[in-house]
Amino acid sequence: MLVLVLNAGSSSLKYQLVDTKTGEAIASGLVERIGIDGILKHEVGINKKLTFEIEMPTHKEAIELVLKTLTIYETKVIDSIDEIDAIGHRVVHGGENFKSSVIITEKVIKQIEELIPLAPLHNSANILGMRICQELIPGKPNVAVFDTAFHQTMPPENYLYAVPHEDYTKFKLRKYGFHGTSHSYVSKEAIKLLGNKKDTKIIVCHLGNGSSLCAVRDGKSLCTTMGLTPLEGLIMGTRCGDIDAGVIPYLMGKKNMDPHQIIDYLNKKSGILGLSGISSDLREVIKAANDGDKRAKTTIKMLCNKIKRFICSYAGLMGGVDAICFTAGIGENSDLIRENACSDLDFMGIVLDKEKNKIRSKENREISAEDSNTKIFVIPTNEELVIAQDTYKLIGKG
Ligand code: ADP
């Protein structure tokens, strides 16, 4: 079955055409700057890469172009859009309504619409993607896969905020957590690597531009670092992560900001970018630190300390940890961050093998020392595969 996996953002669109039989991505790409000018970077196989710079005023032109790259141009991999069996959409916020993936109906779209206040930019873009696919690829089923669904197993003591309870019952104010498809995929891979052991205690460190940790107990999310929105938790590319709520009115006063501006500031100007004053791209900050930049060095220390604090906290919550898994852009590629996040944890039985940690690979791999009680793995995430497989499962049944 061929599934077109779509991840529609406010001005961007990631896509992959996945063959669910092999799990392979036949073609993939990223459209950026929708509504500004428009650029599409398309990949077929490992070697064929093409860039199109075409005006894309809306997501409709962007998806039209994606379909053309799949069916017409020299990048063609299928003869017609009829060969696409279904479309799987990544949806950021499923609130408490969605505990697993669902086939998209008008009722489902309405429910996702109702969640827009919780993820204004993301859920609106996701709905737009669904509507356009219904129009451009008529008659084919669409499936929604939610970033929040995996975390719906968290118990109330881990998802409630310590504010009056009616804020939860009236306004649905609670921790939801994100990166669910990634945490689910990586923890399942880890369970396999642990020999399908029962009663597992796993910590997944999804470290990318957006980052979160998840404590996975027996394959289920027990706690995660992101909250009502993706702003909570770790220090990220441009997000501040956990801060004292008192910072918000203080900064609003000092900088004369309204609520919209302060949230924008904490989401887009803070984190690695704000701390280092260099970039949100950790590679550039690591380079500056190697050249002696003090702020860059402090940024890296803060980032790693925060990861370590959550590792310890989650190990405590689960009463131990069988495996710590690193994934996503930073987790898969930065031996420096992995080494520092795991340093000085030998008292807990967590010992990294520094040499194994330096080996670069795209495969699942173990980087813990022989005498480590806890396994440490690098597991490349594959959110698109999870979306394609969920789509297949639902459509197969349907
Ligand atoms: P997103 O959350 O947007 O999907 P990714 O998971 O692709 O992001 O991660 C992107 C981030 O990974 C980049 O911002 C970059 O800082 C980081 N990254 C990629 N390669 C390396 C590396 N070798 N060393 C450090 N950081 C890296």
Write out the chain's pLDDT in tens, 398 residues.
999 999 998 888 999 999 999 999 999 999 999 988 889 999 887 677 889 899 999 999 999 999 999 998 788 899 999 999 999 999 999 999 999 999 999 999 999 999 998 887 889 999 999 999 999 999 999 999 999 999 999 999 999 999 999 999 999 999 999 999 999 999 999 999 999 999 999 999 999 999 999 999 999 999 999 999 999 999 999 999 999 999 999 999 999 999 999 999 999 999 999 999 999 999 999 999 999 999 999 999 999 999 999 999 999 999 999 999 999 999 999 999 999 999 999 999 999 999 999 999 999 999 999 999 999 999 999 999 999 999 999 997 54
The pLDDT, as a whole number, for residue 201 is 98
Candidates 178, 239, 282: which one to mutate for ligand 1, based on the most atoms within 8 Å of Cβ? 282
**136 CA distance to ligand 1 centroid (A)?**
33
Q: Which two tokens stand for residue 177?
A: 């957590």
**282 CA distance to ligand 1 centroid (A)?**
7
**361 CA distance to ligand 1 centroid (A)?**
15
- CATH code that applies to domain 196-378: 3.30.420.40
Torsion of CA 341, 344, 346, 351, to 10 degrees: 40
The pLDDT, as a whole number, for residue 9 is 87
Of 19, 85, 147, 335, the active-site residue reads 147
The pLDDT, as a whole number, for residue 44 is 86
* Nearest residue (CA) to ligand 1, atom 12: 329
Same CATH fold assignment for domains 2-146 and 196-378? yes
Return d(Cα 220, Cα 297) in angstroms, integer. Answer: 36
Q: State yes or no: 282 annotated in a binding site.
A: yes
Chain centroid to CA 77: 27
Return d(Cα 119, Cα 365) in angstroms, integer. Answer: 35
Locate the ligand 1 atom nearest the alpha carbon of residue 280 and give its number. 14
* Nearest residue (CA) to ligand 1, atom 3: 209
Q: State yes or no: 30 annotated in a binding site.
A: no
Q: State yes or no: 207 annotated in a binding site.
A: yes
Candidates 14, 186, 207, 333: which one to mutate for ligand 1, based on the most atoms within 8 Å of Cβ? 333
Contact 323, 200 (CB under 8 A): yes
Candidates 30, 330, 361: which one to mutate for ligand 1, based on the most atoms within 8 Å of Cβ? 330
DSSP 8-state symbol, 150? G
The pLDDT, as a whole number, for residue 369 is 98
> 48: which residues sit within 8 A by CB, 6+ positions away?
75
At the top level of CATH, which class does the domain 2-146 belong to?
alpha beta
Return d(Cα 251, Cα 257) in angstroms, integer. Answer: 8
Q: State yes or no: 333 annotated in a binding site.
A: yes
Q: For 223, list phi and psi in degrees, rounded to 5.
A: -160, 150
Contact 66, 15 (CB under 8 A): yes
**209 CA distance to ligand 1 centroid (A)?**
6
The pLDDT, as a whole number, for residue 75 is 86
Locate the ligand 1 atom nearest the alpha carbon of residue 211 and give its number. 2
**207 CA distance to ligand 1 centroid (A)?**
8
Q: Compute the residue count for the chain.
A: 398
**338 CA distance to ligand 1 centroid (A)?**
13
Q: Taking CB atoms and a 6 Å cutoff, what residues make up the pocket around ligand 1?
A: 208-210, 237, 281-283, 286, 328-330, 333-334
Candidates 283, 336, 358: which one to mutate for ligand 1, based on the most atoms within 8 Å of Cβ? 283
The pLDDT, as a whole number, for residue 313 is 98
Contact 78, 70 (CB under 8 A): yes
Catalytic site residue 322?
A: no
The pLDDT, as a whole number, for residue 229 is 93
* Nearest residue (CA) to ligand 1, atom 14: 281
Q: Which among 300, 314, 325 has a CA at the least distance from the CA of 375?
A: 325
Q: Work out the angle at residue 179's Cα, subtended by the Cα atoms of residues 92 and 139, and round it to the nearest 5 degrees.
A: 45
CB atoms within 10 A of CB 188: 15
Q: State yes or no: 95 annotated in a binding site.
A: no
- Domain ranges for the chain, please list them: 2-146, 196-378
Return d(Cα 180, Cα 286) in angstroms, integer. Answer: 28
**244 CA distance to ligand 1 centroid (A)?**
27
The pLDDT, as a whole number, for residue 2 is 96
Q: State yes or no: 83 annotated in a binding site.
A: no
Locate the ligand 1 atom nearest the alpha carbon of residue 209 and give its number. 2
CB atoms within 10 A of CB 121: 13
* Nearest residue (CA) to ligand 1, atom 27: 330
Return d(Cα 177, Cα 173) in angstroms, integer. Answer: 12
Q: State yes or no: 291 annotated in a binding site.
A: no
- 3-state SS assignment for residue 352: strand
